[in-house]
Structure 1
Amino acid sequence: MESGTTSNNFLRTLIAEDLRSQKVTQIVTRFPPEPNGYLHIGHAKSISVNFGLAEEFGGICRLRFDDTNPEKESQEFIESIQADVAWLGYRWEGPVRFASSYFDTLYGWAEHLVEQGKAYVDDLSADQAREYRGNLTEPGRNSPYRDRSVDENLDLLRRMRAGEFADGERVLRAKIDMAHPNMNLRDPILYRIRKAHHHQTGDAWPIYPTYDFAHGQEDAIEGVTHSICTLEFEDHRPLYDWFIANLPVESQPRQYEFGRLNTSYTVTSKRKLKQLVDEGVVDSWDDPRMPTVAGMRRRGYTPAAIRHFCEMVGTSRSDGVVDVAMLEHAIRDDLNQHAPRAMCVLNPLKLILRNVSDEHPPIVAPAHPSKPELGERALPFSGELFIDAEDFREEANKKFKRLVLGKRVRLRNAYVIEAVDVQKDAAGEIVAVVADLIEGTLGNDPEDGIKPKGVIHWVEASSAVPATVRLYDRLFTDPAPDRGGADFMSFLNPQALRVVEGALLEPGAAAAAPETRFQFEREGYFVADRFDHREDAPVFNQTIGLRDVWAAKA
């Protein structure tokens, strides 16, 4: 997509009409994650929709944690989510909000429903409640406790609030319709007893509201105009509207659903991502193999590329699967435009230039071939260099466009050379290539019209910095690793991570700050690890290759 263009987004059309008709005068959206895991690529889409639309129409977007399930939540997740949203380039309006900040109000509204005869305390066990609920083809049955009096229900609810009952002993349910074709309206649970320590409220509450009961009311308290969520909440919208209609809320938000973002070769279930972490398949939630925002950041993906990808795929009313190659293309395209160049030799082989002295001045090369504003870099140069062993053959056919005995290639940003001999160890392995530098060939336009077969990268021997380089590939070998009942773990890619120790890096790249991205010329795009990289012990993660190798395999 060209800069300045917009993709198909039905929400954009809807909001524009709401503003034109004065149905609303200012757009208020919110991003409401549950703090029970790290955000992933699907959440990045939701972030871009909620924050992006608010930005576009001069509105505001708030960050709110729907923290109604303390047993699965933690401060770690809260902090990581805030960091991810900020890293993607978005700023929320006002302070960070929490569902738990509204617990007193929500509980008061629960009592209001009881007083109106629209909620009751139920003693059915979980198994009994499932039996009474019915299924998609059979209506449910009323609980035997459904017709308790208002006074009895209020007494029981207040005793639940006081912590008198055990976990799971009772619940508060809305009194709607046990025969309703929408299962979500069959007397849904509003409160359950859960004597769990809460990361925000401590031990103040032995009961917690359900997400369905809390969510819409939080929107109303915050004056949200467009409550935008993914398509799995479409069947919950009638319940959302029922609560808004039956409670003394401060505003009337509307819920709108869009198709969630799913990408091929990826799993985004929090349970499955947690399994990858817990079983040691990956090192952490921010492992560069993970589809989490933190993982993509550590992999070297850019916020601009992720945002562009989310806009590029559009926002529709139906779910679908986007080829992950589209995301990879967005990353590759952004890095090609903005990442400075450097050279790193992954599999070093010594190159001896027999007609070059060690006093040779540095080679001056551009930091980026088409961005002079990024400046230049000085590359030390001498009679001993290192090239990649894959770039040399004693003999080769015409398809091999690199260094061969008796043939010429160009050293990237430097001279044309001709290989004349090899040095071998006692086992017959090549330990060095001997070559001659061709005078007058510095730069890309040789004076004598010499046309070498190819171009290879290199580093100067005495100044090169040993580095650890992590080479990454897709985590799964199957485009739909969690389809149906398949065991997604059986599709793990054994080549998803390869660690190269002893790679040699040009000194300027080694000195770069963590999270600095480079194109390692002829190798791909890499980033200095945000945690492990040091100038004296560089660690670089591969972000993406120079081309789509998976397309070639297909």
Structure 2
Amino acid sequence: MDNKPANNFLHQIVAEDLEAGRVSEVITRFPPEPNGYLHVGHAKSICLNFGMAERFGGQCNLRFDDTNPEKESPEYVASIQEDVRWLGYQWAGEVRYASSYFQQFYDWAVHLVEQGDAYVCDLNAEQAREYRGTLTEPGRNSPFRERSIEDNLDLLARMKAGEFDEGSKVLRAKIDMASPNMNLRDPILYRIRKAVHHQTGSEWCIYPTYDFAHGQEDAIEGVTHSICTLEFEDHRPLYDWLLDHLPVPSRPRQYEFGRLNLNYTVTSKRKLKQLVDEGVVDGWDDPRMPTISGMRRRGFTPAAIRKFCEMIGVTRSDGVVDVAMLEHAIRDDLNDNAPRAMCVLRPLKVVLTDYPEGQVEQLSAPAHPSREDLGSRELPFTRELYIDAGDFLEEANKKFKRLVLGKRVRLRNAYVIEADSAVKDDAGNVIEVHAHTVPNTIGLDPEDGIKPKGVIQWVSASAGRQATVRLYDRLFTDAAPDKGDKDFMTLVNPASLDVVEGAWIEPGLAAAAPEQNFQFEREGYFVADRFEHSESAPVFNMTIGLRDTWNNG
């Protein structure tokens, strides 16, 4: 435990708590609200809470804070569990829900009323805002603050029985309306919501607020370190006040850390939902989305995301992380682990006039230049091939290291060829190149010492397969799309998706497993789509380029 990363202050806190005997076992929790899909910011929280429990031999609970039935659904519950598993973590025991503790929460609400620490308030929302005061002016006591304990108990029971309309009454803690901390100005503990809950159905028509449920959930589960993002720092006094005034079975401690903010990204659930609802993206798992399901479909790997979260560290201040750090982590992982393959995105036919018609030569190439354990792949070589249209010019200067008429270039893992002539359509566009092979040049090392100008990828026209390839760019053109008064919807990158139909791929790629990553040589890293890819209709999504080309002109 003494080899903690220097950029995670929470590790030091936990280590000291164990050393001093304040805790004997570390118990953390990941507590998402099931009202949307998880995003990259949640990935940091997942890695932090589960990773810390792993590091110190403890446990991490997965608990759904489902106290708002109007926005929650089983769809989100299922997607969150899948995201956590995909990132490589397993929660302790069964999945937990705040709703499982509703009766205990209610009993504790009754306890607060009996102790004179809570009351039923009839102020409507507008009146409550007026009475609450401002950051510079103290609030005023509600006219219902001094109701008798008996009246409050009666009204709370009738709230629970469904006698009152939504918004007509709330249960509030009796703390201090003059407190400089707005969260202590008699905060709401319960509100009336006549909505069907995804777990409890119509059993309840009053629901606890997150602030009331949070600390009590932690106490019930024996959580030792309740890790929150910095926006909950001002809520911690209320967290502690409730624990002090309730007969809870344990005493958790809340700690705050800086949330993950990425440039060129929005993570507001409301804004992400707007992108989905208005058809800017194709669902929550669109590969351009910063959701975990979107990153997964884009071809990001769990190992890379976990590495990224480790790289950015855990600090006590908010900041903006350059998305290039995430891209670096992805490239680094895929460079080491992704098999190589060839894909021609903009096909131009090459006819090797000296190569026998109908002949198929099976060439062999390594699946990875430095990973012998990944084996090799077979490349059918035939008279007619496809190369990328950008790899041929009739005339070019010395800087052009690809195929030129009268010049030689190597086909990767195959022959050196020399271009002889070009066939054009009526508009003058080159539609076919005629070339010939240079004898004795098979393989990476020509036997006759010939040095071609460059190396290009290729695919057999008869043995290759056609595929759909989706090329992705960043979703926003602005580094801070939701900062200030900007309308983030006007900053969507119109070139964030380019669908290439009819790309040509090595035949073996058609049999790739969904979610299998590859480096398409000289093009970038790609992944077989997890839902749409099949051997009969291959679909590949671009994960990331071979290098950062953003804004390089």
Mean Cα deviation higher: 420-429 or 46-55: 420-429
Q: CA deviation at 1:325?
A: 0.4
DSSP 3-state at the match of 2:432: strand
Whether 1:101 aligns to 2:100 is yes
After TM superposition, the structure 1 = structure 2 runs for residues 361-376 of structure 1, keeping only pairs within 5 Å, are 361-376=361-376
Partner of 1:503: 503
Whether 1:477 aligns to 2:465 is no
Partner of 1:79: 78
Distance 1:413 1:482 in 2: 47
Partner of 2:535: 535
After TM superposition, the structure 1 = structure 2 runs for residues 159-198 of structure 1, keeping only pairs within 5 Å, are 159-198=158-197
After TM superposition, the structure 1 = structure 2 runs for residues 3-22 of structure 1, keeping only pairs within 5 Å, are 6=5, 8-22=7-21
Aligned partners of 2:4 and 2:12 also within 8 Å = no
Aligned partners of 2:467 and 2:502 also within 8 Å = yes
Q: Which amino acid aligns with 1:297?
A: R
Point out where structure 1 has 5 or more consecutive residues left out of the alignment: none
Partner of 1:435: 435
Q: CA-to-partner distance for each residue in 1:306-365, whole Å, 9 max, x for gaps? A: 000000000000000000000001001100110001111111110111122232421100
Partner of 1:250: 249
Q: Which amino acid aligns with 1:296?
A: M
Partner of 1:145: 144
Mean Cα deviation higher: 347-356 or 98-107: 347-356
Give the CA RMSD over aligned residues.
Answer: 1.0
Task: Call closer, same or farther: CA 1:7–1:297 in 2, change over 3 Å.
Answer: farther
Q: CA-to-partner distance for each residue in 1:14-57, whole Å, 9 max, x for gaps? A: 11111111111110000000000000000000000000000001
Q: CA deviation at 1:425?
A: 2.4
Q: Which amino acid aligns with 1:34?
A: E
Whether 1:486 aligns to 2:486 is yes
Q: CA-to-partner distance for each residue in 1:183-226, whole Å, 9 max, x for gaps? A: 00000000000000000000000000000000100000000000
Q: CA deviation at 1:513?
A: 1.2
Q: CA deviation at 1:127?
A: 0.1
Aligned partners of 1:516 and 1:527 also within 8 Å = yes
Aligned partners of 1:190 and 1:212 also within 8 Å = yes
Task: Call closer, same or farther: CA 1:411–1:5 in 2, change over 3 Å.
Answer: farther
Q: Which amino acid aligns with 2:440?
A: G
Q: Which amino acid aligns with 2:322?
A: D
Q: TM-score, length-normalised on structure 1?
A: 0.98
Q: TM-score, length-normalised on structure 2?
A: 0.98
Q: CA-to-partner distance for each residue in 1:487-521, whole Å, 9 max, x for gaps? A: 11111101100100111111111111111111011
Aligned partners of 2:4 and 2:11 also within 8 Å = no
Q: CA deviation at 1:5?
A: 8.4
Aligned partners of 1:7 and 1:311 also within 8 Å = no
Partner of 1:261: 260
| Pairs aligned (count) | 550
Q: CA deviation at 1:135?
A: 0.6
Aligned partners of 1:526 and 1:544 also within 8 Å = yes
Q: CA-to-partner distance for each residue in 1:102-153, whole Å, 9 max, x for gaps? A: 0000000000000000000000000000000001000000000000000000
Structure 1 residue ranges, 4+ long, deviating more than 6 angstroms after superposition:
none
Partner of 1:337: 336
Q: CA-to-partner distance for each residue in 1:345-386, whole Å, 9 max, x for gaps? A: 111110111122232421100011110110010001011100
Distance 2:429 2:229 in 1: 59
Q: CA deviation at 1:551?
A: 5.8
Partner of 1:298: 297
Partner of 2:269: 270
Partner of 1:309: 308
Aligned partners of 2:342 and 2:459 also within 8 Å = yes
Percent identical among aligned pairs is 73
Distance 2:261 2:413 in 1: 42
Point out where structure 2 has 5 or more consecutive residues left out of the alignment: none
DSSP 3-state at the match of 1:141: coil
Mean Cα deviation higher: 183-192 or 352-361: 352-361
Whether 1:34 aligns to 2:54 is no
Q: CA-to-partner distance for each residue in 1:420-468, whole Å, 9 max, x for gaps? A: 1111223322111111111111121111211111111000011111111
